[in-house]
Amino acid sequence: MYEYNFARFWNLVKIDFDFEEGDEVHTWRINASNKNSKMELVLYCKRDEMMLFNYEAPNGKKLHNRLWNGGNGWGEIKLYKKDGTLIDHVKMENAGCEYGEYDK
């Protein structure tokens, strides 16, 4: 019902993503919208509860840098109608957290 798949261009999907690597907490922010609704997601993960991987791909290449992974995230999702009317507000805990920069 509320889909933000950028491949479905006819739904006029727009997604803004931001990640902040903090000294104590890492923060993800995702704002997505389509022609009918918008969604705001904020997710936090404690740095000391995450693992920093030095991942090497099966082909022997190191394609990712700063690859963080954890499973104790918390945050919230707010879903709105396009006019700004709040549809739902969901709080989340024990969420999976992952971020990595891809080398081209």
Cα 76 from Cα 83, distance rounded (Å): 20
Residue 37 lies in a domain: yes
Domain that holds residue 44: 9-102
The whole-number pLDDT of residue 100 equals 86
Domain count, the chain: 1
pLDDT digits (tens, 9 = 90+) for 21-44: 999 999 999 999 999 999 999 999
Can you say how many angstroms the Cα of residue 20 is from the centroid of all Cα atoms in its chain?
11
Residue 76 lies in a domain: yes
Residue 55 lies in a domain: yes
DSSP string, 42-98: EEEEEGGGSEEE----TTS---EEEEEEEEEEEEEEEEEETTS-EEEEEEEEEEEEE
pLDDT digits (tens, 9 = 90+) for 38-87: 999 999 999 999 998 888 888 888 887 788 999 999 999 999 999 999 99
Can you say how many angstroms the Cα of residue 26 is from the centroid of all Cα atoms in its chain?
11
pTM for this one?
0.85
The whole-number pLDDT of residue 28 equals 97
Residue 14 lies in a domain: yes
